[in-house]
Amino acid sequence: MGIKNKYAEIYIDIKAFDIDHAFDYRIPPGLCSDIDTGKIVLVPFQNRIEVGFIVGVKNKSEIGNNQLKDIIKVIGSRPVFNFKKLELIRWISKYYVQPLGSVIKFFLPPGGKYKKAIIHRRIGLKFKDYVSLNRDKYNLAKDDINWKINSSRKKIIDYLMLSGEVPKEKLIRDTGSGYSSLAGLAGRGIVSVVKKRQNRDFRYEYQGGGSLKKNIILNSYQKNAVGAIDNYIQKEAYHKFLIQGVAGSGKTEIYMAACKKILEKKKKAIILTPEISLTPQLYSRFEREFGPRVCVYHSNMSEAERYERWLDIWENKFDIIIGTRSAIFAPVSSLGIIILDEEHDPSYKEGTLVRYNTQDVAIKLGEILDIPVVMGSATPSVVTRYRAEKEKDFTLLNVPIKARSTSFLEMEAVDLRRINRLKEDTVITGKLFTAIREELEKDNKVIIFLNRRGYSNFVICSKCGSVPKCSACDLSFNYHSDRRRLVCHHCGREQNYTGKCPVCGADSIFLYGTGIQRVQSKLQDRFKGIPILRMDSDVTSKRKSHQEILKKFISPGKSILIGTQMVAKGLDIGDVTLVGVINCDSMLALPDYHMNERVYQLITQVSGRAGREKKKGRVIIQTYNPDSSVMKNILEMDYESFYRQELANRKELSYPPFSNLVNIIVSGKKEEKVKKNIEQLFAEISRVIKIGNSILGPAPAPFHKVNLFYRWHIMIKSGDIEDLGKKLAVILKRFKKFGENKIIVDVDPVWIL
Ligand code: ADP
Ligand code: ZN
């Protein structure tokens, strides 16, 4: 930095809305050469010393020189972000209406350790001594030493001659020599001992050797896709791609082929996957292809592991980084491509304070760095698919066929309306039971899928399957039994509940989520002696059990796996021939406009678990709504019709992609206060934001009470999200100080529950 920059703009590391701007500090002449954007500093702030981040330098300040304070100290020798990353940080902060300080966090070494760790680099790291022989010194000294008395030293030297550099402990162990012998040699400079940073035992450490590379010849669809992407890799230019291809169509092979091109250009790649459970599979495929330059980076590693990995990536030890959403912030230099697998997955949404969508952050980063961004899915999100059609710098690449197997799926529905509830079980119907028995008799495996988001507060007609909906929002009413009223949890409209279906006049029933234990015990009664495994978040919260359950399920012979959303993703098991879907209606009825899309994606994904190899796959879906258009599209495996229909629905009520939504949730322990707050907020928003937006609410959130907290929300549909964001930021700055209630701002929510 030139000597003329006398001032630095600095963000203070405090999460508070009212100090959400940069402060000017004087650069003392002694620190001048150390100051740079992206560096961490210590500064005086309100009678304390705080950590700050330099976001700019300049030679003039509006603030009088006598009011300015000096930077105390620069921490670390390298900046943790550069001006391009800063551009991304600024964008995230503005777009998602969050303090810049909260966004910077994503870019720092993990675990908040930077305060200590960057000052004393060794904290949290493991070091190990390595010994090597200095041959020159040895040759000079060897004649002066009486090796007979020093036989222990001789052993060390012989060992090092053969082995080269070795860890000290290993050397001592293998030679049986003492530390004093080693120290003697080191003292004369004959051997040198150096400290090297050790990685902890990573769960995904490069194993080497392993299985051989597959020699795959890409088919014409794959070649076409790789060619299109490579075009932009060669041009070093920004472009978006959506690869749409069913499970097994060879998307991962396309990603790998693109990565090869990236490595040839001496650049790096980030590959994102929505779930931690999917990283090992992806890692092992990439590792087989690219060897030790591939690493995994995600939030379920221990803090120390993540910190080490972060440093490794920073120090350019890896070329391909595979991870979940936080990996988009990994300190990768010369990034050449960003790839997002399973683009449609709602797990790409960060659920904490800064509610970013990884897809949009990736796209923005791609734009800033001028590099291609590739997304892939069998069932693209409606928004992404629409953008791929509309936007000039977005290309849709179709891969319509499976790469290897020719197996096919047989989809059928069981119409729950026609089940005689007095004679037949509605949890597992006769048809599903029979099918399970048939497949088990053939020594095949069965997966039973249950929806996790069980939701009981709505009514459904047992005769025609219809669910009463709010006419304004086209979303199901929530039943409030205390007042016997139907309430729309979006706009707050209410309606009397008569107990009769408004469509056909028959009696309505309440639909309760079916518990996974109940399904398990029913199956255990019927199929004695057959392994019946269960995978849901209760069982799999322990780190390893997920893998153990899978192992049991995969072992040869018949078995049944019952599970929630987790079983839908990424399992690749040969012998599964039947997938039963128990309760998708409770999901379809959730008052969230995303639900059609989620159900389509989920059932398609879980169906893909059947018939992966040569065997035919069967899928049986139990539903009250076999005639609904989503169900029909699912049964016919017709994404295109689903997409067109869904797009038309959304257009009518201007849901995304025809608008952007912002969901503002106020929550707190005292409902009266929550209501009062949200009404004030609503009044303020309605006063400031008028044109081009429609404001819904305030209404109780669909999940109205969570963990003792009452939740109310306001939804804004906007045609100009950036302008809305600016205005909201101004309003929220005032409301942030709103007593004990919490305000969450969710821009482009993926759930509105
Ligand atoms: P996706 O990522 O779309 O689910 P994958 O890339 O995992 O598909 O491919 C499914 C399987 O088919 C993998 O075992 C993969 O190695 C194999 N495969 C993909 N493309 C080809 C090809 N062109 N020739 C032979 N096998 C292929
Ligand atoms: Zn409504």
Pairing state between β 372-377 and 239-245: parallel
Angle at the Cα of 230 (from 227 to 234), degrees rounded to 5?
140
Q: Which of 343, 352, 353 is nearest to 381 (CA)?
A: 343
Q: Which of 287, 283, 305 has the alpha carbon at shortest distance from 296?
A: 283
pTM above 0.85, yes or no: no
Q: Using one digit for the tens of pLDDT, what is the confidence trace for 584-595? A: 777 777 778 898
d(CA 164, CA 166): 6
**Pick from 263, 274, 261: which is nearest to 225 by CA?**
261
Instruction: Report residue 9's pLDDT band, with 50, 70 and 90 as the boundaries.
Output: very high
Closest among 586, 588, 583 to 599, alpha carbons compared: 588
pLDDT greater at residue 693 or residue 164: 164
Checking if the pLDDT of 62 tops 60, the result is yes
Token representation of residue 137: 């010194």
CA–centroid distance, residue 753 to ligand 2 (Å)? 14
State the pLDDT confidence band at 544, using cuts at 50, 70 and 90: low
Looking at per-residue pLDDT, the higher value among 597 and 108 belongs to: 597
- Which one has a higher pLDDT value, 391 or 491? 391
Atom 6 of ligand 1 has which residue's CA nearest to it?
250
How far does the centroid of ligand 2 lie from the alpha carbon of residue 707, in Å?
25
Residue 35 is predicted with a pLDDT of 86
Share of the chain above pLDDT 70, in %: 88
**Predicted confidence (pLDDT) at residue 40 exceeds the cutoff of 90:** no
Tell me which of 6-10, 129-133, 150-154, 659-663 is least confident: 150-154
**Beta carbon of 216 within 6 Å of any ligand 1 atom:** yes
Distance linking the first and last C-alpha atoms of the chain: 49
pLDDT of 122 strictly over 50:
no
242-256, 654-668, 721-735: range with lowest mean pLDDT: 721-735
Helix axis angle for 595-607 and 629-636, nearest 10°, is 20
Regarding the beta carbon of 699 and ligand 1, being less than 6 Å apart is answered: no
Q: Which residue has the higher pLDDT, 677 or 116?
A: 677
Predicted local distance difference test score (pLDDT) of residue 152:
83
222 lines ligand 1 (CB under 6 A): yes
- Our answer on whether the CB atom of 378 is closer than 6 Å to any ligand 1 atom is no
Q: How confident is the model at residue 284, as a pLDDT?
A: 86
CA 246 – ligand 1 centroid, Å:
11
In this predicted structure, the answer to whether residue 378 has a pLDDT above a threshold of 90 is yes
What is the 222 CA–ligand 1 centroid distance (Å)?
A: 10
- Separation of 267 CA from ligand 1 center, angstroms? 25
Higher pLDDT, 670 or 471: 670
More confident: 154 or 227: 227
Q: Taking residues 362-372, report their average pLDDT.
A: 97
Ligand that comes closest to the CA of residue 474: 2
Which pLDDT belongs to residue 4?
Answer: 62
pLDDT higher than threshold 80 for residue 489: no
**What is the overall mean pLDDT for the chain?**
84
**What does the pLDDT read at residue 209?**
45
- Predicted local confidence at residue 746, as pLDDT: 94
366 C-alpha to ligand 1 centroid (Å): 26
| pLDDT number for residue 121 | 45
CA 476 – ligand 2 centroid, Å: 8
- Give the pLDDT confidence of 208-264 residue by residue, as tens digits: 444 556 678 999 999 999 999 999 999 999 999 999 998 888 999 999 999 999 999
6 lines ligand 1 (CB under 6 A): no
Q: Is the CB of 401 under 6 A from ligand 1?
A: no
Retrieve residue 39's tokens: 């560096």
Predicted pLDDT of residue 320: 97
Q: Which ligand is nearest to the CA of 472?
A: 2
- For ligand 1, mutation pick of 242, 322, 344, 404 (most atoms within 8 Å of CB): 404
Who has greater pLDDT, 457 or 152? 152
Please give the radius of gyration of the chain, using alpha carbons only, rounded to the nearest integer: 30
User: What is residue 1's predicted lDDT score, i.e. its pLDDT?
Assistant: 44
Average pLDDT over every residue of 163-170: 83
Task: Tell me if 379 CB under 6 Å of ligand 1.
Answer: no
Using CA atoms, how far residue 362 sits from 225, 234, 368, in Å, is: 20, 20, 10
What is the share, in percent, of the chain residues with pLDDT greater than 90? 34
Q: Has residue 471 got a pLDDT over 90?
A: no
Q: Quick one: which atom of ligand 1 is closest to the CA of 254? A: 6
422: pLDDT strictly greater than 80? no
DSSP 481-501: TTTTEEE-TTT--EEE--SB-
User: 366 pLDDT exceeds 70?
Assistant: yes
Taking the centre of ligand 2 as the mean of its atom positions, its distance from the CA of residue 146, in whole angstroms, is 94
The H or E element containing residue 166 is strand 166-167
Please tell me which residue, 537 or 299, carries the higher pLDDT value.
299
Encode burial over 78-113: b for 16+ CB neighbours within 10 A, e otherwise. ebbbeeebbbbbebbbebbbbbbbbbbbbbbbbeeb
Rounded distance from Cα 713 to ligand 2 centre (Å):
13
Over residues 131-150, the mean pLDDT reads 81
pLDDT for position 408: 77
* Residue bearing the bigger pLDDT, 143 or 331: 331
Least confident of 86-95, 293-302, 480-489: 480-489
Q: Any bridge partners for residue 486, and if so which?
A: 479, 495
Give the model's pLDDT for residue 312: 87
**Residue 130 pLDDT > 80:** yes
Q: In this structure, what token pair is assigned to residue 30? A: 């002694």
Task: Examine the pLDDT at 473 and tell me if it is beyond 90.
Answer: no
Asked whether 226 lines ligand 1 (CB < 6 A), one says: no
Residue 401: alpha-carbon gap to chain centroid:
27
Q: Are strands 485-487 and 478-480 parallel, antiparallel or unpaired?
A: antiparallel
pLDDT at 335 over 60: yes
What are the angstrom distances between the C-alpha of 728 and each of 663, 715, 748?
12, 12, 14
Q: Is 271 helix (H, G, I), strand (E, B) or coil?
A: strand
Ligand 1: which atom is nearest the Cα of residue 256?
A: 6
Whole-angstrom Cα distance, residue 185 to residue 160? 12
Residue 611 has pLDDT above 90, yes or no: no
The alpha-helical segments, DSSP class H, found in 200-302 are: 220-235, 251-264, 279-290
3-state secondary structure 128-151: EEEEEECHHHHHHHHHHCCCCCCH
pLDDT over 90 (residue 291): no
Top-confidence range, 160-174, 181-195, 432-446 = 432-446
Mutation to probe ligand 1, out of 219, 242, 252, 573 (largest number of atoms < 8 A from CB): 252
Q: What local confidence, expressed as pLDDT, does residue 511 receive?
A: 57
pLDDT at 200 over 90: no
pLDDT at residue number 79: 84
Cα 373 to Cα 363: distance, rounded to the nearest angstrom: 6
Q: Which residues pair with residue 194 across a beta bridge? A: 130
376 lines ligand 1 (CB under 6 A): no
The mean pLDDT of 619-627, rounded to a whole number, is 91
Given pLDDT bands bounded at 50, 70 and 90, which one contains residue 412?
A: very high
| Statement: residue 454 has pLDDT above 70 | no
CB distance 64 to 34 below 8 Å: no
